[in-house]
Structure 1
């Protein structure tokens, strides 16, 4: 594949990275692929004059040895596609499901969710998210694995913050952007990132795909490759591949086989239990009615209202509305009953809402918003946290993931857990500096998690 992109000549401190580009793959185990196509990528916010270049980024084939039951050798071909629409939906979803197993089904990795991001103009070249998904096929052209991958011209919408890295890289005389990002756009949800179907050579396919990702990054001459919110298993494997490891923190609620919300409250310390009950009473006293709508129960008018709520949140807090109005309609039509929308109504008119997606064993809380001219005390806690807990108990789900940030979640039953990311930085000097920083940061995160658990909201005998 050939890519045309805006590119700045490397500054002297970083030239050694470009001299190493051809040595990333071990010899003797690869063959060149003949596939080619053309994609145009223009990058903005550059402080240097842009130079348009064309790079051949066709990926190499990879030879792998079968299991003891399949002694023959196989060759898998690796290629890059510029849209998920070039991949059959059934093939993508088979890889995503095999990677996570049915009980851990992750709707954000589904073809429906990711294709909606592209088709409605959210994760596309024009917004700084150029899809470059990797596809691995066997000799019969069956897809063995896929990777959601994007060439990015900024660091927005990732929830693993590297803006300071970009500033430091620029101070060294280098260009941090573009970079390669393996993730689900705008979604801080943990899950597998290298999606591989079950087969006897699964580990070798994993190794081949990781090698293809670093090869692609080298051919594009990007500063770095980032894999954000991978599974813990992937995180550990990628350390062996030379990736720097980073940890973060989120707040999750765990279902201890509760039959109802009151059973959950009985596990809380008395003061926390009292506070939650007081907050929930405020909803009725404000003449608000809470509704949980799922699948076909959610009508177009509900999504239009929710989009207005979402824009109120982004306009007042984030400043950038990553998602379009069309996205919510399209995503809902594709995911069906995996979508749960919590609405607060006053006099039968929606005034606030919270969007959740239902996984195999987890409820994922994602977005919240309310009417711009209204304020309802405790409504945010009710819509985002308490309604999610009730839904998880009702659906017999193990976990509620309440999204990024927010220590206020702790006293409402959501405890801190680790999240992961992996970073492959080509410049050796800069990588060393980042690694030293990550050691200090990880120690701090571990310490904070320990303190927050020790002063948690649950009774002493509740873990």
Structure 2
């Protein structure tokens, strides 16, 4: 079968119905693949050419039907990715070579695993891989990187000549708990004691928390969250990736996937967290504070969302990138994947040797973590 191949710089060229129809056809899609989320990133200027994210989505059409698609960006930096290749870029520079521009398939600023090679069937997915390989070889990019694909797609990319890299995240699994206390009862005594102490410390500081579903969120709520988010980035001497326009867009266009947790003291809002969810999974995303209260981050970004998962019978809470401290709060280590192709043969060989050594270290790290389960024996 012959497909028409397009490079799309604006998702409106495809349209929401066509894009979301393909997303829903995937195994285990998530809200970050939705038209609403990606279009909000682009239209708000958060992930746009002026910020170093140039959309160049690869799409395959069968007649008028969207048969396959790959979220793809031309990038001139490595910010907002969560699979770090700064050392590779530095090595290129030291040898007088350009590492940027590069091709990146990822959800900007979002270390969440999910389909990257989106296709209606295996034939279309194989054709999409062929188009990707031909595209990267026909351009002058240094490399191509697909971040956080499911393992089966990572293996398919390996067969196409990509190098695989693995990492570790921490996910909480819902054991069908009736309430938060029942969950706590499954943890080791020290872990239970520490969590109760953290929650008590927040309450004793006079902080109350309220959960705001997306359909209930007001303009004032989003202004507050944006203030908290930007203030925390400034406190860490960093530049925030997202803006108020983005937050209001997702609040308007995907409200059923949104939960805000707002912390208040003496009637004043002082902090907020934002999580995104569907019926099966909740994803810890963004946090910010205007006033520091010890342990408030854990309450707003972990314990309140955990209670929400239990109440809504959501099966998994993906805690986001990094964070071994999450194990003490009932999260367990989970392997993640990325796939990488480098055009320069010598650098490809060097990176392959590096990844072989790194992979052994990741295996050992996972073994060590799994021996330190936070749950009662």
2:41 is aligned, of 105, 111, 117, to 117
SS at match of 1:180: strand
Give yes or no for contact 2:276–2:283 (8 Å, CA) kept in 1: yes
Alignment of 1:107-186 (within 5 A): 107-138=31-62, 140-186=63-109
Q: Is 1:385 aligned with 2:302?
A: yes
Q: In the alignment, is residue 76 of structure 1 matched against residue 3 of structure 2?
A: yes
Partners of 1:133 and 1:148 within 8 A in 2: yes
Counterpart of 1:241 (choices 147, 157, 160) is 160
Task: Pick the structure with greater CA Rg.
Answer: 1
Equivalent residue pairs, number: 377
Cα pair distance change 1:214/1:317, threshold 3 Å: farther
C-alpha separation between the residues in 2 aligned to 1:415 and 1:358? 19
* 3-state SS of paired residue (2:81): coil
Corresponding position: 1:347 with 2:274: no
SS of 2:254's equivalent? helix
The reply to whether residue 419 of structure 1 matches residue 336 of structure 2 is: yes
Question: How much is the aligned-residue C-alpha RMSD, in angstroms?
Answer: 1.1
- 5+ residue gaps, structure 1: 1-73
Question: 1:87 deviation in Å?
Answer: 1.1
CA distance in 1, matches of 2:29, 2:370: 28
What is the SS of the residue equivalent to 1:279? helix
SS at match of 2:211: strand
- The answer on 1:295 being equivalent to 2:214 is yes
Given the two structures, how large is their TM-score scaled by the length of structure 1? 0.80
* Residue equivalent to 2:124: 205
Query: Separation in 1 of the partners of 2:169 and 2:129?
Result: 27
**Equivalences for 1:54-69 in 2 at 5 Å?**
none
Tell me which residue corresponds to 1:230.
Answer: 149
Query: Which structure 2 segments of 5+ residues have no match?
Result: none
Inter-partner Cα distance in structure 1 for 2:112 and 2:309: 17
> Aligned to 1:257, what secondary structure does the other structure show?
coil
Whether 1:455 aligns to 2:353 is: no
CA–CA separation in structure 2 for the residues paired with 1:395 and 1:148: 31
Measured after TM superposition, the shift of residue 348 of structure 1 is 2.8
Task: Note the C-alpha offset of 1:318.
Answer: 5.9
2:363 is aligned to 446
Q: How does 1:279-428 map to 2 (within 5 A)?
A: 279-317=198-236, 319-371=238-290, 374-428=291-345
Determine which structure has greater relative contact order: mean sequence separation of CA pairs < 8 Å that are 6+ residues apart, divided by chain length. Answer: 2
Q: CA deviation at 1:360?
A: 3.5
What is the CA distance between 1:183 and its match in structure 2? Answer: 0.6
